[in-house]
Chains A and B, each alone.
Chain A
């Protein structure tokens, strides 16, 4: 539980970070350290250089612009938890963040760290997929935007170049009267979810579902947007039977297995939790408390 030797760098600006990324072989970026530090201590990662982002200016912010919430990569999860803009305009993220680790880990953990770690069970990763977020990445040629659906390259690997860093993410907001729910099943409070489900719903004036988003975390190697389920419910009036039947499709998603649960159990939970999320989101449409 002692890391091997590495060099430590603490740049102050984004260009400095990019310069270090270009210059230093075998580097790792350190954000909140809630995953990287244990991985270093267990020697699961063996970098020669650690580039600490904690002193870099301009990476911590939460702002609402142009129908979206923009959050800086180094924004602490605890700041997201207490941000009025998040609670009022993006209640899905607020509900999810309360289930991220424990308050001690949220004090250090960051949005960018979680998105780049890309644990398929991580709440913020699932939320980003559910909201069709766009991530901003800075590199030697300037800044580019990547839709979150293209962000996971493979299991726990983001589509970021070796000389790039994530600077923030943009979360498009849903209509004010939308319904939302983030539900998860974990064995203990604060654990990574075995399976989580995020649901967003909007209805038209006639009580039919106009827009839907359903995302499952912890099932596949990256969050799974269940488009087929979304299509199956859009255009219909919500009902228990509609949700129950439509969610059965989730049992067919190819699921991971690990020490906590076999894949068949994850598929089962995917159907159960997606239905529960939809029911809860529907009850909250128009400000219902669900």
Chain B
């Protein structure tokens, strides 16, 4: 293989040789290379295959807009599809593979698609594959899906880490070419906090790629000098390898820093990438300009590339794109490529200038004017160009230039459209206000001197200007050229998606004239480069095809992200087990000691059951129920929301929040409360206790704790601002445990200080402040969710484990057991208490059998809408009990209820089972259900229909209270 490495020059480190592989073949390159430049230097121009026709492709660019040279980089869980070889910094041991080809890049069977390309025009798939009907999903679509896509993503977990960070600055400078350096310097010297970010591996932008003269030295040396000064300023942060991906509200910019992508694997304590949100007082867009291709036949042949890219490969990477180059363009800038290549000793055969006249310096290279390249031949590598006048010229590389497009993307992310400048033949950025300004080439400044001055002016702060160095300017005259219509071969507009110049007039003929419709119909601009290279050409061709101006056609919408962003970067560390925080209750350690199995409940981990040897969840929960109902059990209920409410108007405030009344509650007593939403639907329930005249403690359900708090804050601040009340969430400040069962009092008595517990001193629904274990403050409530004689004991969180252990000791003689939420749930279903399955955001107080709680004597949230006709229809589904007629049958939650003899249909649907449990007390499955007019139907035999799981059993509608209907145990 011939070496295309130039013998001198470039910014590569020739002493550092790196070895890498592409499609299994070993190569060497140098530090400072990209994968693309290293492959070019090794004589490899074929790097990929296109999407539809599987055309052989090489790099068109040397940067971020690359549509062709996409590879699968790395292996295993680190494999990344569609990685731009032009942006990959070479490292030792790099492994890359080509994609979208089979069996090999050289010989790709998919290329037969090209033979049928006369049929595979834009939108062909909308017109066929419809017959026979069943063939789409069985035959056509699977084939299309297999053929579609580019690279193959790994399905293994990514072993690398990602970070997120915020940054704040006075000035964010995006792009570190001549404009960006001057902007950063101006603000930096004025003492402003400056961030200079650039997507490149090194700062310097185009000055790394071009031969320039600034301030009497080379552009590169000048840039290094400026960077050294910026690095010395404490108020300036330099961020290479950092792509600014989007502009958002509040002048917030997203950015991704590639911390470790230039090494084989990140250092153990480094992330692969760091995602930044940069909040900038001002920002300057100094992103430069993108060169445009020209549409001519075979403009995708490997070896055809943008003129500026070919210069970059020679100047920066010391890699020649070929041995004999043809330069083709419509502007003076293209001549630079001929001059630079010549200076590097690369033979330039001829410059083809589409214009009849030009005064640019060809440095002795022959120029053919007024002609164009019509076709490139060669297939997998350039062999010759054919000009519009019939001339054939042998060559092995073509540098093309159709002019420059300012990189306006970020300036358009909020929806403003760029405007066409007919002199510059470029879309210029829209007015984006004072906080974000485009400068330099991104603002249409075509001369280096203009860029330096513009950067200095737009970076300047507090009127403190800096002097602008002198420089040599390049000519930039241009004449329009978009599409060489004399071409015989395919002239590509969107390389990756294989959208050709002819597709656009076809779209226009078929009615897809709006550029947004043409985009969607032809897929132009929808590839991974998002139209960076081809869109302006597409707009020009549409303008001509439809007789409109460039502005009338306009651009498609520029949207984030400027270049594609790894999911991992946005996700940061919040993945896997760290997706959401874990909340543990104050009794977590105690429960773990007792062998609890924990279950996710919102963010909480709750103890679910406490298995003994050989027990499954059902055996454990059943044993816990039996032990509790016959002796005593202890359950962690700390996850219930707890809100401390104080103030003169606390009672009045609670009266607004609950549908029942709390201002009349006696001090030292607790009451069950029900909250409605303003639309009349139940929002939450819980017990609230009055500890003093102006002091209440509310409890909410675990699930709704945060929501209730926010609703209280809204009600107080926005609706009833003059109530003298204050409240704070104390959920995490108190450990709370239910002590239930006939021996609960005897157990508690052993740890409560100085209180002889009895029905008189601690009556049902008492709420007392006590102390335990010789002085630990505690709150004692006589409440029962289980239906047993029961208490809830609350202690400051730090005493939680101690109190629970003490209770276990105290209850040992009564056979105390810890019980979890499974047993809790069984007991509440046995007692017919409603919970999440019934408080589901669609039920009313009436539906729950709690209609009588709704006060008629006061205003409260939800009062009026709860009286709506629709919420009081007797046929509404309301809570009932459900039990199988044959006690050996199982009923399941989610089964629907049908009349005994009805056929299954939604029209016959009577409701559904909302909660079930195996009742160890009744030795059968029991449940709660929501059934139409259910309270009038106790005793009715119905079908419990569970087609989903293939069962259908007879059930009896009954009172929700399955067990101890007289509540004897509560008061025992």
* B partners with A: no
Chain B residues within CB distance 8 Å of chain A: none
Chain A residues within CB distance 8 Å of chain B: none
